[in-house]
Structure 1
Amino acid sequence: MRIKLFMGAALAPLALVTAAQAQEAQGPVTSVEDVIVTGRPVLRNRTDDTAPTLSYDREYFQRFEPLTVGDALKRVPSVTFLSDVLESDGARLRGLDPGYTKILIDGEEVPGAGVDRSFFVDRIPAELIERVEVVRSSSANRSGDAVAGTINIVLRDALSLDGGYVRLGAIMFPDSEYGEWGGTYGAVWGGEALGGRLLLGANVQDRRNPKNKYSQRFDEPGGTLDNTEVQTDVRDGTDYAFNAAYETEIGGGTFDVAGAFVRTDRVQDEDSIEYLGGIENAANLSTINDNDLDIQTDNLTVRTGYEREMFGGDTEFKLAYASISDEQYEFEGESEYRRDAIIFPDEDRYTLDSTTTDIQDEEWKAAIEHEIELSNGMELEFGLQGNWKTRDSLVTETPRIRFTVPNAPAPRPAVPAFGPSTPVPGGDVTIEENRLDPYVMLSGETGALTWEAGLRYETTDTTITDRTVAPADQVSESDEAELLPSFSLRYALSEDDRIIFSAARTVRRPSFNRLSPALLVEEFGDSDFVGNPDLKPEIATGFDLGFERRLGRRGVAGMNVFYRDVQDLVEETNTGQEGDGGPGTFIYTVDNVGDGKVYGVEFDLSTPLDFIGMESTGVFLNYSWLDSEITDFIGERRFNSQSDYVYSVGFTQDLPTWGAAFGASYRKQGDAFSRVLAEEVTTSYGADLEVFVEKQFGSNVVVRLTGSNLLDSSKDEVFDKFANEADQRNRVYDEYEVETEEAGPVYQLVMRVAF
């Protein structure tokens, strides 16, 4: 019923407009294409890159009005997420942990707040996108830490727009029957200025993700229901973004500079009520919990380059700076009511905790690269790339405040102020990581064959200073070097068909939280954990083999098979030392143990139906079958949290006579299983349906109505919890939990005006 109402409301504006041919656009074509109905389906690009690359221009995503890059990536092959409903943060290319996927902005590495070196793609508003490239295999001129592949987010540059547009919109979030309203506003202009080309853009958008959660906790599967928990989780915030780019000819070469600043200002409010025995009334109310998290994250990227002919070829000098500032304050208060026989509203005990997180991560990058044309259609490229990272992480907590009222209903004392905060174990750390990576790459083209072969030598010097451990153990250093060969070829079987093959050696560096030598008490059930500063990176050798066919004039279909052999996997191991909990508990660490395999098949289709006379109808289909093998402390499993499949299918229908269009997108990803010490989690997601309807007014205005999460998608998790490794092996449960999280649809009404 909700979908019917949405479609009716969306089509109502069309009935008010006389059916007529859309007026021919006036002004610069590049600016108008950003905001008006194009009259034909927008499809995936068929690139001529030698390395296997899928490219999607902003128009491919724009009609569904994604708020973030993460939302846009839901229509890209093999990208999964393990996020809350309405969230798309850590991109999991081929279903692997986000740390296996390299995220680039304009071809440059960017630091993220995550300890696994990943970057949350929902921190970048989709309005900044020029295009998104999915690079399935590595080349020597890019960083080699891309086991699963690379996602390159290309922002608008000084050449991407001639003219400008304004974007105004309203968003209805599913807080209640009538919703909670927010806004989205933006403006972009590009043109000639200051002796060159200039682009300026700004964007402000409200973000609100309200969800409901329900948990049931048993003593074991099929056993006694111990308690239930009813929870609301509202994430409310605003994103602010500004980007600029400038390009000019100077000194016989081309100089360009570009930058982007994004601020995420968010409050996460989780409120929950727990009931004993699953009887949800006042007599069985056990606890009331209030958990608030205030987040402010700033991302800044600035890059500049100068390219000119010299030394018999083209030389480019690059300098870039990227930083992330992540500041969080978390407050959690819990009231307990059933520690004695007196029921709610008389309280038995109150507990108050607070934690502050401050992460400052900066990276400087510099490079000099040179290309020379050789004989016989060959080209030589070589260069030196440097990356200097400094990451300061400070996580502090205040002394816990707890009031116990042994004889309720005695009044609770007034809550005093928190005492001075102190760093948590492993919470006061500085990491300095310096890389200097020379590379050389030879490429060529002979008839139907295009190829490239390269070598990259990555050196990494790391210094870790952990101020929460004994002075003698505070500083640890490591020096790693890896030789990373790569090879790709593209062979044209015909005008329409081609084969793409790529093989490469890639690397994944350890997560920051696994390097600190601090002791974390009860990190795994009743057992403790200590990091390992001597961890080596994981190394993967793999290949991609794909076939691609042109369909008609503009369509494309592709099939790709991939395989990765991952060595020196980082897994938890038992030191054999007794833990803080006494006999039966241990201290665990991580080490490079064992190997793993990742493999799968990827199919994508993007085409208009012009071969059956429907030139204004476009369809797309992406399906990826994903699998892997790894042996851990219990036995064989997949890589943690890898979905076994993901697919999306949809269509767009342009109505050129009316200057209108509509379309829909349906997405589903398979179950994901994770096993670590003392806990196992199986995660399932419901399907996601998105719909859009748009109408052009005049030559430079388009109004678009979109709806997402129209099926009220849910996230379902099953937790198997154990006290220790022995209990986990013997299936002696500490707790068995089933949790469901769901949210309603989100609607947007957006108007774009070109000028």
Structure 2
Amino acid sequence: MKNDAKRTVLAVALALAIGQSRAAPEQAGPDVATSMDEIVVQADITYRDRSDETPPVLVYDLEYFQRFEPLTVGDMLKRVPSVAFVSDVLEYDGAQLRGLQAAYTQVLINGKKVPGAGDDRSFFVDRIPAELVDHIEVVRSASASRSGDAVAGALNIVLREAYAFDGAYLRAGALHFDDGTMKPTYGGLAGGDVGGGRLLAGFNVQGRYNPKQKQSVRFEEPGGDFVDREDQDDIRDGTDYSANLSYHREFGPGELDLSAFLVRTDRRESEHSVEFNDPVSRAIAHRVSVNDQVVDIDQDNYSLAASYRFEGLGGATEISLQRAAFDDSRFDTEEESSFDDEEMPPAFDEREGTRTLTATHDTETTLRVSHQRAIGGRQLAFGIDLQRKDRDTTLLTAEVDTDEEHAPLPPYTEFVHVASDIQERRVDPWITWSGQGRALRWETGLRYERTDADIHSDNEAVANEYRILLPSAHFRWELSDGDRLRLSLARTVRRPDFKQLLPVTLEEEFGDNDFIGNPSLKLENAWGLDLGFEHRLGKRGVVGINLFYRNVRDLIEVVNTGTPSATALDDYEEAVDEFLEEHPGATAATPGYPVFDPDSFVFSAANVGHGRVYGVELDVSTPLTALGLPDTGVFANYSWLDSSVRDAMGARRFNNQPRFVYNVGVIHDIPSVGMSVGASYRKQGDAEQRLLAEEVRTEYGADLEAFVEKRFGDSVSVRLTASNLLNARKDEFFGKFDTLGDQQGRDFDEYELESEQSGPVVQLIARFAF
């Protein structure tokens, strides 16, 4: 009732505010913001920009998102076309462009690659605060001047730069969560002339919190007998600290740019679970286990970059150097007490604990030298990208147990140590040739990516190399003053996951099956086609449609090595021991002696697959001037997504690709009272994932957000934002199997229904420019 009341009050406030509005004459679209008061107090609704680049790029300024007060880049990206997430409720970390897994999407910061947390080389976009961002580019098709790791496309996060801003502002506020917890947020940004150049500096402190309620109900099979139920409290609690610095000035014959950013995350994930052997009761008499898990996470992302651009040598030359790093440290302790429910009430059985310490250090050093010049009315650009990547991972694991009730667990002293190191050296020369006529602009390019990799794990060293040629071509026709057609063709790649490369055996990684990496894996590669049309609506609106297709080759799939798994060997050894106990002195020739017939194996990864990805993307953002509502802006996008691939079970879509994702939003300005109101609604389709020994279907509820903004003069704005007004829910359906044969025969080990839910979040944020 309390949550319903909050939503009702907010809805009434929005309706009253809209009812007080008066139409105002249409104004021209806003210029690029150059002063802090224009950032703090927006004069107009900001719409999606129409990019003038020849390749297909969508551009969204910070002001497009800002009125909904996004906390992170993940919160921003959930509003742009084709971006899906398969994360926990209210977590927007691994962005999936075109719905493909995050590894297929290249995330760039200021046009450059950065290392991330995922074994699949993905970068968690919720680690970058929205306050650092100037604009976001959705790059739908690859160009030769960018790294080719972008099968689904690329997301370029452009941070604020020194030469774009004058003045300073402070931001402060608080977030209120439905369990009563409050979290602060504050920061500031300043820019101006310093030392003959332009300096911008900013900082941001963001409280992070996400309380969730989870429940898992397990059955023997779909529609089968009840097994057990697990109730869980899950809390993600932490703080993000960030800072950015940018300096720009003329230096000698050219221009020098220096930039740096740092994001530090302190986070604790706490889960408390109680398992019952009854579908509804929480009585101690039905309790079968109590589990507590605490994960302390410390993460640091930083980047230092310098670039120098000068005219000469017949054109413009640029030299840039970047050092980027990611450090991730995790201290994970999980302890569980189990009870024997064959007795009533269940009697204590044992207490087990596992402690896992993980440290990952990932660095990338990149040097780029490029040159651009005009030749006969055309533009020639060429360059070379050199990159050195080092990823070191250390894993320490210890397990302890006791069968004495109320006794403490033994200390975690005996750790199993696993260390790995992956080094990659890239040399990527590239060239583009572009030009334009009266109505046609075009760009062709060629990129050659050469990578040498050295993989070290447990005193084993393996080398591999990748060589691939990546052509691209882009065309843009101006059909009229308001109509534009684009066509792009490009070849892209996806590099293997780090875990897939390491020659380390992971026991029971897939049910009873083991997994060992394959350092000899090749790159996945894809030919892609994009065809898009844009139409200008009045002075500020735009509507677009884009069709895309990807043909993916050398797809990496899990394959059977034929080697029996550790579980199969242990089961056979146990069967032999039992037979010898019953038949002392027996030999292999003795009738009934166990025959080794394993049904679980060691699996690996290999380039054996082929897949297709295709879909349609629609988007529109426009003021409703034609309806007499120039102060009302609407935003909408819809993406229909599909794909096909084959695995050992047959045909399926790419894992975790939803069928659709869409967003609808409206913002209404009330100039007479200096107010704005707005709301947005987001929904994505079900996602399915089929792995060896496990199948998962994920369903998400819709997300509704709303805001009310009040402006005071030219320097102060206050926003009240409410998100997750529909108490977003995530439901997952797990089919679990022991072996591939069981999976093919639909012989379930377990079928689980898991749901989680989180309540509304209310923000009150004030900005003051000076």
Q: TM-score, normalised by structure 2?
A: 0.93
Written as runs of structure 1 = structure 2, the 5 A alignment for 1:511-590 is 511-582=497-568, 583-590=598-605
Superposed displacement of residue 372, structure 1: 0.4
Pair 1:743–1:515, CA change in 2 (3 A): same
Does 1:325 pair with 2:316? no
Over residues 250-280 of structure 1, what are the superposed CA-to-partner deviations in whole Å (9 max), with x where a residue is unaligned? 1110001001000011000011110013252
Deviation, 1:352, is: 1.1
SS at match of 1:87: coil
Give the C-alpha shift of residue 698 in structure 1.
2.1
Equivalent in the alignment of 1:338? 340
Residues 1:595 and 2:610 are matched in the alignment: yes
Shift of 1:718: 0.3
**Matched residue SS, 2:164:** coil
Amino acid in structure 2 at the alignment position of 1:401:
V
User: Secondary structure of 1:187's partner?
Assistant: strand
1:404 aligns with 2:419: no
User: Equivalents in 1 of 2:523, 2:288: separation in Å?
Assistant: 46
Shift of the alpha carbon at 1:203? 0.2
Name which of 283, 289, 308 aligns with 1:306.
308
Contact 2:17–2:677 (Cα < 8 Å) also in 1: no
Instruction: Report what 2:415 is aligned to.
Output: 421
Deviations 1:353-405 (A, max 9, x none): 10001000000000100000111x3100000111100110011112x111114
**Secondary structure of 2:39's aligned partner:** coil
In structure 2, the partner of 1:750 is 765
Q: Decide whether the 8 Å contact of 1:37 with 1:661 is kept in 2.
A: no
Q: How many residues align?
A: 729
Residues 188, 202 of structure 1: 8 Å contact kept: yes
Q: Within 1, Cα distance between the matches of 2:663 and 2:224?
A: 38
Q: Are 1:677 and 2:695 counterparts? A: no
Write the distance in 2 (CA, Å) between the matches of 1:692 and 1:537.
Answer: 45
Change (3 A) 1:103 1:530: same
Paired position in structure 2 for 1:247: 248
SS in structure 2 of the partner of residue 514 of structure 1:
helix
Q: Secondary structure at the match of 1:6?
A: helix
| Partner Cα separation in structure 1 for residue 497 and residue 53 of structure 2 | 32
Match of 2:715 in 1: 700
* TM-superposed deviation, 1:413: 2.5
**1:239 & 1:15 partners in 2: Cα distance?**
39
Pairing 1:510–2:496 present: yes
Deviation at 1:347, TM superposition (A): 3.0
CA distance in 2, matches of 1:244, 1:602: 36
Match of 2:743, SS state, is helix
- Residue identity matched to 1:302: L
Residue 387 of structure 1 aligns with an amino acid whose one-letter code is Q
Say whether the 8 Å CA contact 2:24–2:631 is kept in structure 1: no
Aligned to 1:159, what secondary structure does the other structure show? helix
1:287 to 286, 289, 314: 289
Separation (CA, whole Å) in 2 of partners of 1:285 and 1:202 = 48
Identify the residue that residue 740 of structure 1 maps to in structure 2.
Answer: 755
Contact preservation (8 Å) 1:285, 1:338: no
Cα contact 2:616–2:641 (8 A) shared by 1: yes
Within the alignment, does 1:635 sit opposite 2:650 as a pair? Answer: yes
Tell me the SS of whatever aligns to 1:595: strand
Shift, 1:554, TM fit: 0.7
In the superposition, relative to structure 1, how do residues 478 and 352 fare at CA in structure 2: closer, same or farther (>3 Å)? same
Q: Given the alignment, which residue of 137, 141, 145 partners 1:137? A: 141
The Cα of 1:8 is off from its aligned counterpart by 5.6
Instruction: Give, as a single letter, the amino acid of the residue that structure 1 aligns with 2:380.
Output: L
Q: Residue type matched to 2:410 in 1?
A: P
Using the alignment, how far apart are the partners of 2:314 and 2:488 within structure 1? Answer: 30
> 1:64 is matched with which residue?
68
1:517·1:530 contact (CA, 8 Å) conserved in 2?
A: yes
Alpha-carbon RMSD: 1.9
Task: Note the 1:475-494 alignment, pairs <5 A.
Answer: 475-494=461-480
| One-letter code aligned to 1:417 | P
Matched, 1:460 2:447: no
Shift of 1:118: 0.4
Q: Tell which deviates more after alignment, 720-729 or 272-281.
A: 272-281
Superposed CA offset, 1:12-42 (max 9, x none): 999999x999xxx9xx96211211132x321
SS at match of 2:348: coil
User: How far apart are residue 594 of structure 1 and its match?
Assistant: 2.2
The CA distance in 2 between the partners of 1:240 and 1:112, in whole Å, is 17
One-letter code aligned to 1:532: N
Report 1:122-521 matches (<5 A): 122-175=126-179, 179-280=180-281, 281-338=283-340, 341=343, 343=345, 347-375=348-376, 377-398=377-398, 400-405=399-404, 411-423=405-417, 427-467=418-458, 471=459, 474-521=460-507
Cα distance in 2, alignment partners of residues 265 and 666 from structure 1: 31
SS for the counterpart of 1:72 is helix
Note the C-alpha offset of 1:7: 4.4
> Using the alignment, how far apart are the partners of 1:233 and 1:414 within structure 2?
24
Q: Which consecutive residues of structure 1, in runs of 5 or more, have no partner in the other structure?
A: 406-410
How far has the Cα of 1:119 moved from its partner? 0.2
Q: Separation in 2 of the partners of 1:621 and 1:197?
A: 37
- For 1:319, the aligned partner's letter is L
CA distance in structure 1 between the partners assigned to 2:36 and 2:640 by the alignment: 39
Alignment deviations for residues 191-233 of structure 1 (CA, whole Å, 9 cap, x no partner) = 0011100000000010001100011100011111110110011
User: What's the CA shift for 1:421?
Assistant: 2.3
Q: Describe the superposition over 1:19-67 as per-residue Cα deviations: whole angstroms up to 9, x where unpaired.
A: 999xxx9xx96211211132x3210000101000000000001000011
3-state SS in 1 of match to 2:363 = strand
| AA of the residue aligned to 1:520 | L
Q: Displacement of 1:691 after TM fit? A: 0.3
Tell me if the contact between 2:717 and 2:766 (Cα under 8 Å) persists in the aligned partners.
yes
Aligned-partner SS, 2:65: helix
How far apart are residue 160 of structure 1 and its match?
2.2
Residue 36 of structure 2 is aligned to residue 31 of structure 1? yes
Deviation at 1:613, TM superposition (A): 2.1
Contact 1:14/1:695, CA 8 A, preserved across alignment: no
Cα distance in structure 1, aligned partners of 2:713 and 2:62: 22
Q: Distance in 1 between matches of 2:145 and 2:18?
A: 50
Unaligned runs of at least 5 residues, structure 2 = 569-597
Quote how far apart the aligned CAs of 1:338 are. Answer: 2.4
Letter in 1 for 2:442: W
Q: Which amino acid aligns with 1:441?
A: T
**1:695-734 equivalence runs, <5 A:** 695-734=710-749
Alpha-carbon offset, residue 9 of structure 1 = 6.8
SS at match of 1:359: strand
Q: Is the CA contact 2:242–2:264 (under 8 Å) kept in the aligned structure 1? A: yes
1:307-365: CA deviations, max 9, x gaps?
Answer: 00010000000000100000000011101122552536x63311111000100000000
Mapped contact 2:556–2:607 kept (Cα < 8 A): yes
> Structure 1 581/683 Cα, relative in aligned 2: closer, same or farther at 3 Å?
same
Question: Are the equivalent residues in 2 in contact too, given 1:263–1:296 (CA < 8 A)?
Answer: yes
Letter in 2 for 1:726: G
Give, in angstroms, the shift of residue 678 of structure 1: 0.4
CA displacement 1:146-193 (0-9 Å, x = unmatched): 000000000001022111110011100122xxx210111010000001
